[in-house]
Amino acid sequence: MVAKGSALIAVVNVSTPPGVVMIYDIRFTTTTGKASICDVQLMKIGANLCADDKINATFTSSDSSAFNDGANATYGAANIDTAASSLDADNFVS
């Protein structure tokens, strides 16, 4: 639970398998009229990834209020490694 007026940071870790190029589309949602999504950004890009350094985010309000209760984030990543495990930390974007 998040207290009214405070902030919450949520981190999503996404792995791109070695030798693969991916376009990711991630959707974030909150409770309608209760919380607002203020920003979506990349915090860390693994060493094996050629990834967009900026995420394309679109914010939505399901009830036309001042709250952005939805966000769609799109970014692309290419993993230049061909042998490492998908679980290697250098294959993740956060």
Q: Residue 70: CA atoms inside 13 Å, Cβ hemisphere, count?
A: 9
On whether the CB atoms of residues 86 and 13 are closer than 8 A, the answer is no
Burial of 59 (0-12, 13-18, 19+ CB in 10 A): middle
Q: Where are the domains of the chain?
A: 15-83
CA angle 60, 64, 65 (to 5 degrees): 100
Q: Which residues contact 86 (CB under 8 A, 6 or more apart)?
A: 15, 16, 17, 18
pTM of the model: 0.66
Q: Tens digit of pLDDT for each residue in 30-63?
A: 776 677 777 787 777 888 888 666 677 888 887 7
Q: Tens digit of pLDDT for each residue in 10-37?
A: 788 888 888 888 888 888 887 766 777 7
What three-state secondary structure class fits 90?
helix
